[in-house]
Structure 1
Amino acid sequence: MLMKLSRWTGGLLLCVLLGNVQAQLKIGQEAPSFQAEAALAGKPYQFSLSESLKKGPVVVYFYPKAFTSGCSIEANLFAQAADEFAQYGATVVGVSGDDIETLERFSNGPCGGKFAVASDADRSIMRAYDATMFFTSAMASRISYVVTPDSKIYFVHSSMNPDQHVSTTLAAVKKWYAR
């Protein structure tokens, strides 16, 4: 059955189909260092990638918007796996363009108080990590990086589907740990 698509519907379909096609940092590339206002278990603080890397690898995951269904699912999955990430010395931080007040609530809600979420209100971290949506730089795409203590990108997972980000980054952390 052939379906005639309007120009708008066809453009939307193209956006959905190309959702995983974007620029991203490459494995082995230097990870941009950053500091950002963040929240952990509802409490604001200053997150520093360089300080976190002193403890082990860091999973830096970008997500479009707090409290949306996909972002809440992904945050909940990271919260469920937080203790396992910690067993391998890994820190998890979520990054979005949300303001810190929203992230204070999100860190207690879907994040379960288990990991930090950082505010990138000026989108500078998203740009540095090539993590903006391909059709708007106002929002982060759903992309996860594993950064090793030597500040190198070790693993990248890019998919608008939130389901595999936790399992693939955890597998990468385990592989790095076992090296």
Structure 2
Amino acid sequence: MNNLKVGDKAPEFELLNQDGIKIALKDFIGKKVILYFYPKDNTPGCTTEACDFSQNYDRFSDKNAVILGVSPDSISSHEKFIFKFDLKHILLSDSEKEVAKLYGVWGLKKNYGKEYEGIIRSTFVIDENGKIAQIYSNVRVKDHALKVLESL
């Protein structure tokens, strides 16, 4: 599971966004980064979470924060998801699950008694210097975006 702790340097990564453009963590030095991992585009919990972050986009921007959503979905899936719900923030495609594993959020999950591997819904708040300021594990989506916003 996750060995990262508050105060650790956030692992560097580079992934493609919904437009096929490479986005790297280091692109955001000097800003706070809200890095949230979610299982799948267009599913009820993930849609709620994405819409909540998007609805509060300007409030995050006012606090010098950028929002990055990460899931194993494809670039085209992200593009459609953003269009369908008019999302304002960046979604990154982690199809190989490399970044999810780097952050310790790819692991064993249980649903209706079945065990399977998947994304453990988690959010990392990374400060302006690239250090982890907060970690939210096994996130419940209700009011999560507001809790993260209040913590900034």
TM-score over 0.5 (shorter chain): yes
Instruction: Indicate yes or no: 2:31 matched with 1:52.
Output: no
Instruction: Indicate yes or no: 2:82 matched with 1:113.
Output: no
> Structure 2: which 5+ residue stretches go unaligned?
110-115
Q: TM-score, normalised by structure 1?
A: 0.76
Q: Which has the larger radius of gyration?
A: 1
SS of the residue aligned with 1:169? helix
Give runs of aligned pairs for residues 36-75 of structure 1, distance below 5 A.
36-39=15-18, 43-54=19-30, 56-75=31-50
1:59 shift after superposition: 0.3
> Structure 1: which 5+ residue stretches go unaligned?
1-21, 174-179
The structure 2 residue matched to 1:131, chosen from 80, 105, 121, is 105
What is aligned with 2:74? Answer: 99
Q: Is the 8 A contact 1:157 1:165 kept in 2?
A: no
Q: Is the 8 A contact 1:30 1:152 kept in 2?
A: yes
Greater relative CO, 1 or 2 (CA 8 Å, sep 6+):
2
1:160 shift after superposition: 4.1
What is aligned with 1:15? Answer: none
* Greater helix share, structure number: 1
Q: How far apart are the structure 2 equivalents of 1:73 and 1:83?
A: 17
Number of residue pairs matched by the alignment: 146
* Greater strand share, structure number: 2
Q: Is the 8 A contact 1:66 1:102 kept in 2?
A: yes
Q: Is the 8 A contact 1:157 1:168 kept in 2?
A: no
1:153 shift after superposition: 0.5
Q: Is the 8 A contact 2:36 2:68 kept in 1?
A: yes
Report sequence identity in percent: 28
The structure 1 residue matched to 2:5, chosen from 16, 20, 26, is 26
What is aligned with 2:120? Answer: 141
- Flag as ranges the 4+ runs of structure 1 deviating above 6 A: none
Give runs of aligned pairs for residues 76-87 of structure 1, distance below 5 A.
76-87=51-62
Alpha-carbon RMSD across the aligned residues, in angstroms, is 1.5
Q: How far apart are the structure 1 equivalents of 2:122 and 2:3?
A: 8
